[in-house]
């Protein structure tokens, strides 16, 4: 048979590999800064751009979409060409994909620090960047499918199944969750409100973990692990079962991020049970990885690449077992809003994503640079520093999370709360310090790797075009190996795409549609009214400064939370919240009913210097809010956008909104003046106070909220 | 013929085990009465957790016993002992559903008596222990038989052998038999069976999901979030009542008295210095909140008034309610401390707020406001 000669494009792989390294270092440095700010508020430097509320979203976006994102593309571009025995479909598309993605990352970093954010976790980027992401993702899809369609291999290997499912699901999640109403070039409001927004957001957020941090990495594990260990994949049938089960079940589990919230109970229960059912499919991947190493464990002792991979897969197994346990309501009651969640995600991020990426880099760079790794010993050192880093990071966080949650729940025998919120924070600060040391160690390990790789690259030369040969794929190309029923779909990438899409769409549709259409899921409360223009401006400041990163707005129906914060939150209270701001972490106390709890002057002093009102507080100062004026020019556009989203402001209200705004600002100014605080009425702090004083007050004084169907 | 019947037998027994799981779990949950309170009892939850854990152990153990029996059979297929052994394992598995039915009957009869349900749950656990014991004895019998008949086999328990069996591993040397012949860029694939514990674990999770949804949304035998909250609050209120009745801590705004012993005031000061200073300053001079040392009071200066102000707060004026944070005794101490601040000289006193109140014979020395004639106020504090 005629054999064709072609060339794998290693240059694009190299580009993505270097981008992975660069953004990994940047993302982890930002993470370290955030970790230090947790016990050293002065490390916020008194600037809006470097304050925790903006630094943390930058950290999460950088490590997820920049570090792991480039890692995915590195793995896909290397393995896909070889698994399909063809170069990438189009070098131009590869380049557009690469530079487009880097441009998105840079613009994300700038806009997030500047305070342009949608306020939805892991989807903070504003609408122009959302559109850019969609376009680049489509470019990636065309390039991937073009490559698959011109393959010289009849069947698709399991890694490619995962790539296909990843592509289609991420596209669906990103598009649905990013529906927003633009107000200006860098400001938009989420299309959805309150409970519905929360459900869409966590359907997205949970599955961003599933289909950005898990499935593509499982795909590249299925390529690089057998390659590095030189062992056959343990079980083909396990691959089949765990792949389909994983993508089908994963998508349902989003509501486990909203247990005990105002989300309808039926949706919460679905989140619980699908999370439990997810254990086995997740572990299928771990087993297939670890059992592939049967007969190669002697190599694991010697080879740093395999060591990294083994720890990565083990961490994957731990995180995917812990996740379902955290979805049980009784466990979630303790873990949610505490540092336990932070520990959990870092087992996944540092262990699974980080270590697998490192293992692949150590394996791949010497190959495309045609030279052995500069120092195997240094790689071993990196492995140990990194592992100790993970341990030092996660154990204090588990400890802190459990301790603090227990302190929150503690009552005295007399029936009063045993601890003030602040006491529970100051109690765990030593653990925050240890955590940052763990993070620092992990980062040092990464620097060791960067050094090792730079040395390797210097010693070798890039094999930009790697020659390969294969016979063309003909209709009658014989199938190698046994023929199984599943082979049918392995020959049909487009059907695979469609079936994957149908499977992942089912869970989403069955949870989202009833929540949107059935009115009883969100009983309306007649006393809940839209925000005044000043409160709306304050709310936008709240979002822009990332207050939701540390403060929740969701009082769960627990005795301790009701005692501490007030009546538990009801679904009907959030109907005008575009976007919802329930938060996912309580570094500071819940703010759902902060309204009217403290005087205006308290808030004024507290924003200027939190420690003056709460001695020992770790909240940074927001002093600039005292000087910066409210952007009143944006008020009419904001009101109009809200009206288009269905918020019932009167017709033509956008034209008079600013008059109302100034009236309310003036009344707050007068109250502050009575407490001897002199400030002009048009300062951001005034809008902030207006919003804070409004929060959760709509149903106060009406103990039995009237529900209307 | 024999291997086939063994295979069938094994499948049947696994089905039986799963079925058994269904039966035992059902009454365990049904033991919780229609009102969800009993299942929200942590001890009940713990016991049910133990029951489920033991069931899993029984499942695994039964699986191991079956495996051992299979191994035993494979080696001695020709001997007649095989039939006897099958009978033995049949007995093991046959006995279990009997227990299950017994427990099902007894626990349904005791829906309302929590003592009885406690003992029922314990009984189920004991039965499960019995089953485990029974299985262990059989396993030992099987193993010793193997030892007696095949003395060349490894005499002691080997973890790696167990691990191979547990995961249904094929020896690495026989790998070529299950190589599927796939070649993806040099990557080969094997056709290993699914690890049995993984597969049954998956089934168990699906089973859990069905039961969970059934309990919460069909049978309503488990409390949803709101109901759970009501239960917790009711229980806590009862506990609190019981404790306060015993602890003689039941001071309130009617019974509170002003006490000035240094120890007593020190207790109040401790709370004051952590909680009240942000608004009232450490010396009571006031900043966001009013000055507590002068003669002017917004909400009254009697010990009862101060107690009330702290306990319920005046949220509209910025004073939060502290009754969820401090005990009545603590609030009483704090109120006495606040009252004791009257007449002291803070570094930066805030301007007066509220109504002038003067107690007989006592007035802040630097007060520039003339006190009303003292004789009309002799005896007790008066609010104007």
Per-residue model confidence as pLDDT tens digits over B272-322: 988 888 888 888 888 888 888 888 888 888 888 899 899 888 887 788 888
Residue A586 near residue A550, CB atoms below 8 Å: yes
pLDDT in tens, B83-119: 454 444 444 444 444 444 333 333 333 334 467 778 8
Which parts of chain B fold into alpha helices (H)? 2-30, 37-40, 42-75, 81-108, 114-149, 159-167, 196-213, 225-247, 262-271, 277-280, 303-312, 328-341
Phi and psi of A598, rounded to 5°? -125, 155
Specify the pLDDT at position B58: 86
Closest residue to B324, CB basis, from A79, A416, A612: A416
CA distance A449 to A197: 41
CA nearest A408: which of A386, A390, A423, A426? Answer: A423
Residues of A in contact with B315 (CB under 8 A): 596-597
Dihedral over alpha carbons A20, A100, A349, A25 (to 10 degrees): 40
Contact A268 B225 (CB under 8 A): yes
**Topology, domain A524-708:** Cytochrome Bc1 Complex; Chain D, domain 2 (1.10.760)
Q: Which of residues 71-130 of B touch A (CB under 8 A)?
A: none
pLDDT greater than 90 at residue A664:
yes
Specify the pLDDT at position B13: 56
Residues of A in contact with B186 (CB under 8 A): 227
Closest residue to B229, CB basis, from A268, A330, A568: A568
pLDDT in tens, A691-706: 999 999 988 755 444 4
Most confident of A106-110, B74-78, B304-308, B363-367: A106-110
Q: Which of A221, A233, A596 to mutate to test the interface with B (most CBs of B within 10 A)?
A: A233
Closest residue to A294, CB basis, from B172, B217, B225: B172
pLDDT in tens, A197-223: 999 999 999 998 899 999 999 999 999
Residues of B in contact with A562 (CB under 8 A): 229, 233
CA distance B103 to chain A (A): 27
**Is B277 touching A (CB cutoff 8 A)?**
yes
Specify the pLDDT at position B275: 86
Residue A530 near residue A576, CB atoms below 8 Å: yes
Helix, strand or coil for residue A596? coil
Residues in chain A: 709
Percent of chain A with pLDDT over 90: 88
CA distance A555 to A566: 8
Reading the block at residue A148, the tokens are 């698959």
Residue A57 near residue A546, CB atoms below 8 Å: yes
Mean pLDDT of B10-23: 53
CA distance A159 to B184: 10
Residues of B in contact with A415 (CB under 8 A): 236-237, 239-240, 243-244, 327
In the predicted model, what is the mean pLDDT of chain B? 74
Specify the pLDDT at position A198: 95
pLDDT greater than 60 at residue A13:
yes
CA nearest A307: which of A320, A296, A321, A319? Answer: A296
Reduced 3-state DSSP string for A312-364: HHHHHHHHHHHHHHHCCHHHHHHHCECHHHHHHHHHHHHHHHHHHHHHHHHHH
Specify the pLDDT at position B8: 53
Closest residue to B325, CB basis, from A226, A287, A416: A416
Contact B182 A481 (CB under 8 A): yes
Specify the pLDDT at position A516: 86
Question: pLDDT band for position A554 (50/70/90)?
Answer: very high
CA distance B73 to B75: 5
**How many interchain CB pairs under 8 A, A with B?**
187
pLDDT greater than 70 at residue B384:
no
Mean pLDDT of A393-398: 96
Q: Which domains does chain B have, with CATH numbers?
A: 2-178+192-230 (no CATH), 262-363+372-377 (1.10.760.10)
Contact B225 A265 (CB under 8 A): yes
Residues of B in contact with A283 (CB under 8 A): 198, 201
Domain with CATH 1.10.760.10 in chain A: 524-708
Specify the pLDDT at position B143: 75
Specify the pLDDT at position B359: 66
pLDDT in tens, A40-66: 999 999 899 999 999 999 999 999 999
Contact B181 A480 (CB under 8 A): yes
pLDDT in tens, A569-581: 999 999 999 999 9
Domain with CATH 1.20.210.10 in chain A: 4-476+483-512
Nearest CA in chain A to B184: A83
- Long-range contacts of B166-169, Cβ-Cβ distance < 8 Å, separation of 24 or more: B166/B195, B166/B196, B166/B197, B167/A291, B167/B195, B167/B196, B167/B197, B168/B192, B168/B193, B168/B194, B168/B195, B168/B196, B169/A291, B169/A294
Residue A374 near residue A426, CB atoms below 8 Å: no
Residues of B in contact with A227 (CB under 8 A): 185-187
Specify the pLDDT at position B247: 64
pLDDT greater than 90 at residue A173:
yes
Helix, strand or coil for residue B157? coil
Find tokens 């222990």 and name the residue: B129
Contact B172 A236 (CB under 8 A): no
Closest residue to A602, CB basis, from B181, B213, B279: B279
Rounded to two decimals, the pTM is: 0.78
ipTM attached to this prediction: 0.90
Closest residue to B189, CB basis, from A232, A245, A287: A232
CA distance A228 to B82: 47
Closest residue to B201, CB basis, from A234, A239, A280: A280
Say how many C-beta atoms besides its own lie within 10 A of residue B214's C-beta: 15
Residues 6+ apart with CB under 8 A from A315: A347, A348, A350, A351, A352, A355, A390
Work out the angle between the directed axes of helices A304-326 and A355-368 (0-180°, nearest 10). Answer: 150
Question: pLDDT band for position B3 (50/70/90)?
Answer: very low
Nearest CA in chain B to A674: B288
Q: What is the CATH code for A4-476+483-512? A: 1.20.210.10
Reduced 3-state DSSP string for A414-472: CCCECCCHHHHHHHCHHHHHHHHHHHHHHHHHHHHHHHHHHHHHHHCCCCCEEEEEECC
CA distance A112 to chain B (A): 34
Mean pLDDT of A352-381: 96
How do B355-356 and B296-297 pair as beta strands? Answer: antiparallel
Q: Which comes out higher in pLDDT, residue B272 or B248? A: B272
Specify the pLDDT at position B149: 56
Specify the pLDDT at position B38: 63
Contact B188 A157 (CB under 8 A): no
**Is B248 touching A (CB cutoff 8 A)?**
no
């Amino acid at each position: 048979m005629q054999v064709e000669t072609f060339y794998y494009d290693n240059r694009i792989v190299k580009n993505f590999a270097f981008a992975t390294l660069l953004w990994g270092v940047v993302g982890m440095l930002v993470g370290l800064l955030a970790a230090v700010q947790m016990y050293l508020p002065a490390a916020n430097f008194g600037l809006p751009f470097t304050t925790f509320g903006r630094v943390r979203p930058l950290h999460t976006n950088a490590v997820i979409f920049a570090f792991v994102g480039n890692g995915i593309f590195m793995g896909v571009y290397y393995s896909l060409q070889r698994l399909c025995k063809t170069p990438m479909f189009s070098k131009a598309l590869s380049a557009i994909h690469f530079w487009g993605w880097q441009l998105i990352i840079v613009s994300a970093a700038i806009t997030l620090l500047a305070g342009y954010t949608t306020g939805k976790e892991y989807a903070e980027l504003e609408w122009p960047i959302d559109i850019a992401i969609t376009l680049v993702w489509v470019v990636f899809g065309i390039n991937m499918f073009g490559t698959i369609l011109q393959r010289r291999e009849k069947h698709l290997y399991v890694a490619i199944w995962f790539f296909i499912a990843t592509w289609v699901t991420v596209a669906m999640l990103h598009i649905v969750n990013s529906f927003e109403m633009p107000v200006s070039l860098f400001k938009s409001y989420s299309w959805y409100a309150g409970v519905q927004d929360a459900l869409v957001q966590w359907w997205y957020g949970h599955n961003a973990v599933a289909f950005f941090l898990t499935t593509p990495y499982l795909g590249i594990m299925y390529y690089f692990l057998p390659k590095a260990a030189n062992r056959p994949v343990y079980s083909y049938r396990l691959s089949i079962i765990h792949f389909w089960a994983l993508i089908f079940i994963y998508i349902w589990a989003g509501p486990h991020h909203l247990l005990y919230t105002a989300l309808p109970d039926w949706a919460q229960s679905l989140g619980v049970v699908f999370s439990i059912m997810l254990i086995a499919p997740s572990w299928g991947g771990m087993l297939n990885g670890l059992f592939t190493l049967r007969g190669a464990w002697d190599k694991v002792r010697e080879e740093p690449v395999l060591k990294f991979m083994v720890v990565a897969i083990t961490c994957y197994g731990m995180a995917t077992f812990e996740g379902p346990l955290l979805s049980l309501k009784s466990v979630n009651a303790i873990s949610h809003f505490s540092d336990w969640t932070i520990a959990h995600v870092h087992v996944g991020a540092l262990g699974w994503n980080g270590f697998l990426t490192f293992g692949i880099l150590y394996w791949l760079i010497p190959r495309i640079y045609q030279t052995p790794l500069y120092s195997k010993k240094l790689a071993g050192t990196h492995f140990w520093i990194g592992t100790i880093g993970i341990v030092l990071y996660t154990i204090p966080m588990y400890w802190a999370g459990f301790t603090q949650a227990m302190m929150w729940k503690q009552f005295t025998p007399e029936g009063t709360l045993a601890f003030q919120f602040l006491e529970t924070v100051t109690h765990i600060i030593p653990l925050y310090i240890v955590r940052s040391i763990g993070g620092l160690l992990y980062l040092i390990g990464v620097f060791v790797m960067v050094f090792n790789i730079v040395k390797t690259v210097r010693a070798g030369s890039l094999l930009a075009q790697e020659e390969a040969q294969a016979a063309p794929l003909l209709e009658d190309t014989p199938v190698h190996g046994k023929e199984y029923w599943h082979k049918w779909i392995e020959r049909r990438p487009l059907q695979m795409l469609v079936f994957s899409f149908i499977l992942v769409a089912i869970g989403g549709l069955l949870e989202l549609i009833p929540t949107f259409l059935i009115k009883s899921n969100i009983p309306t409360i007649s006393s809940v009214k839209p925000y005044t223009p000043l409160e709306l401006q304050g709310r936008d400041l709240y979002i822009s400064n990332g207050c939701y990163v540390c403060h929740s707005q969701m009082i769960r129906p627990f005795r301790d939370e009701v005692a501490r914060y007030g009546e538990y939150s009801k679904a009907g209270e959030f109907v005008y919240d575009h976007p919802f701001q329930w938060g996912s972490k309580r570094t500071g106390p819940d703010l759902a009913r902060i309204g009217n709890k403290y005087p205006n002057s308290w808030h004024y002093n507290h924003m200027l210097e939190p420690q003056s009102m709460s001695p020992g507080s770790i909240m940074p100062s927001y002093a600039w809010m005292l000087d910066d004026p409210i952007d009143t020019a944006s008020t009419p556009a904001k009101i109009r956008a809200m009206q288009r989203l269905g918020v019932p402001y009167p017709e033509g209200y956008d034209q008079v909104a600013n008059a109302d705004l100034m009236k309310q600002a003036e009344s707050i100014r007068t109250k502050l003046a009575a407490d001897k605080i002199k400030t002009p009425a048009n300062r951001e702090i005034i809008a902030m106070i207006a919003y804070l004083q409004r929060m959760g007050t709509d149903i106060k004084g009406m103990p039995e909220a009237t529900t209307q169907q | 013929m024999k291997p086939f019947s063994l295979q069938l037998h094994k499948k049947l027994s696994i089905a039986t085990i799963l079925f058994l799981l269904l039966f035992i779990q059902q009454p365990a949950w049904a033991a919780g009465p229609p009102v969800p309170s009993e299942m929200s009892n942590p001890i009940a939850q713990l016991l049910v957790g133990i029951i489920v854990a033991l069931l899993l152990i029984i499942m695994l153990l039964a699986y191991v016993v079956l495996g051992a029996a299979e191994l035993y059979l494979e080696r001695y297929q020709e001997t007649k002992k095989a039939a006897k052994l099958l009978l033995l394992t049949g007995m093991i598995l046959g006995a279990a559903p009997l227990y299950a039915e017994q427990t099902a009957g007894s626990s349904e009869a005791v829906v309302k008596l929590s003592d009885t349900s406690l003992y029922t749950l314990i009984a189920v656990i004991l039965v499960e222990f019995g089953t485990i014991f029974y299985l262990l004895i059989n396993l030992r019998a099987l193993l010793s038989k193997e030892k007696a008949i095949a003395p060349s086999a490894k005499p002691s328990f080997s973890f790696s052998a167990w691990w191979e069996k547990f995961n249904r591993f094929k020896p690495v040397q026989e790998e070529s038999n299950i190589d599927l012949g796939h070649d993806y860029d040099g990557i080969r694939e094997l056709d290993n069976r699914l690890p049995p514990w993984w597969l049954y674990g998956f089934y168990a999770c699906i089973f859990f999901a069905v039961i969970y949804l059934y309990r919460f949304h069909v049978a309503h035998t488990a409390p949803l979030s709101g109901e759970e909250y009501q239960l917790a609050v009711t229980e806590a209120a009862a506990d609190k009542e019981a404790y306060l009745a015993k602890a003689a801590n039941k001071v309130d705004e009617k019974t509170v008295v002003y006490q000035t012993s240094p120890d007593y005031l020190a207790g109040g000061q401790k709370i004051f210095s952590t909680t009240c200073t942000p608004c009232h300053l450490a010396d009571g001079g006031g900043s966001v909140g009013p000055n507590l040392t002068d003669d002017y009071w917004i909400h009254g200066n009697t010990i009862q008034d101060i107690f009330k102000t702290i306990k319920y707060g005046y949220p509209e004026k910025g004073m939060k309610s502290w009754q969820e944070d401090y005990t009545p005794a603590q609030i009483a101490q704090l109120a006495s401390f606040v009252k004791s601040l009257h007449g002291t000289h803070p570094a930066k006193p805030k301007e007066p707020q509220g109504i002038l109140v003067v107690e007989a014979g006592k007035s802040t020395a630097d007060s520039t406001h003339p006190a009303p004639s003292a004789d009309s106020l002799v005896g007790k504090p008066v609010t104007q």
